[in-house]
Structure 1
Amino acid sequence: MRKQTIQLTFCLLMLSTFSIAQSQLTLGVKGGANFTGFHTGSSTFSSEFGINLGGIAEYSLSDRFSIQAELLFNQKAGTFTIKDNSNFVLGSVVSELGYIDIPILAKIYISDKFSFEVGPQIGFNISEKTEFNGSEVESELKTLDTALVGGFGYQFEQGLFIQARYGYGLSEVFENERYKNSVISLSLGYKFN
Structure 2
Amino acid sequence: MQLTQNTERQCVSTECPPEVLRDTKHATPVVQDIVLKSLGLLSDTKALGLGGGSAWGLRRAAPSAEFSVDRTRHLMSFLTMLGPSPDWNVGLSAEDLCTKECGWVQKLVQDMIPWDAGTDSGVTYESPNKPTLPQEKIRPLTSLDHPQSPFYDPEGGAITPVARVVVERIARKGEQCNIVPDNVDDIVADIAQEEKEE
Same fold, judged at TM 0.5 (above):
no
Structure with more strand by fraction: 1
Q: TM-score, normalised by structure 2?
A: 0.29
| Structure with larger RCO (C-alpha < 8 A, sep 6+) | 2
Larger radius of gyration: 1
